[in-house]
Amino acid sequence: MAQSEFDTYADDYETALEQGISLSGEDSTYFAQGRVDWVRTRLSELGAPSRTLLDFGCGTGTATPYLLNLPGAEHLVGVDPSPASLETARRRHPSPQAEFLPMEQSPVGTVDLAYCNGVFHHIPVAERPAALATVHAALRPGGMFGLWENNPWNPGTRMVMRRIPFDRDAITLSAPECRRMVERAGFEVVKTDFLFVFPSPLRRLRPLERRLTRLPAGAQYLVLARRS
């Protein structure tokens, strides 16, 4: 999707998103919190810090409050190609701990954790290596990259994406494709996890999800990688 198209959704991005994910019986906050909580779990297992954060493709800053609640979080930079989305993020999240900048002002060599959700399926395939190079350059040596993407092997995910205007024409990528892409960019892949297996009517089964993260059944997956 072109930058100008994202500009048109800056004020009602969440409305369009909620329209799609309502099929799950949950709202966007459930998934936003769940993604960051899972990253927190994996970082804790690795003993990896999360003081300085990059939200790559931050949009309107939806993930900002959740990321700033990570242990030890001190400062977050959100970068995005959409000026209108960045302005909305600044208005909604006026924290002194957060700033929202154009992509070309992404930090270099200082970030503990780069976080990215649902961005790469919007980036043209030929431009994905350059986007990954930006993330790689932002991280300090040993810094972590948490890349969330929609799982195209999940039928529910495909149904949801067809209901969201800005997702209908997106070029999805499977978890194996994502891992290979990340490795080619110079990262070391540490973990791949699939989450959000059970919709709201089956929420009593959600405690089982921690045992199912290796199965490609979840609506989204996390590729967690390290800058060597």
Q: What is the pLDDT of residues 111-164, one digit of tens each?
A: 999 999 999 999 999 999 999 999 999 999 999 999 999 999 999 899 888 888
pLDDT category at 9 given cuts 50, 70, 90 is low
Domain segments of the chain: what residues?
3-227
CB within 8 Å of 201: residues ≥ 6 apart: 25
pLDDT for position 33: 97
Phi-psi region of 111 (alpha: psi -120 to 50; beta: other; left: phi over 0): beta
Q: Is the pLDDT of residue 6 over 90?
A: no
pLDDT for position 5: 60
pLDDT for position 201: 92
Residues 84, 135: contact at Cβ < 8 Å?
Answer: no
- pTM listed for this prediction: 0.92
pLDDT for position 1: 42
Q: What is the pLDDT of residues 68-89, one digit of tens each?
A: 999 999 999 999 999 999 999 9
- Classify residue 65 as exposed, middle or buried by CB count within 10 Å of its CB (0-12, 13-18, 19+): middle
pLDDT for position 2: 45
What would the mean pLDDT of 168-193 be, rounded to a whole number?
Answer: 97
CATH architecture of 3-227: 3-Layer(aba) Sandwich (3.40)
CA distance 146 to 216: 17
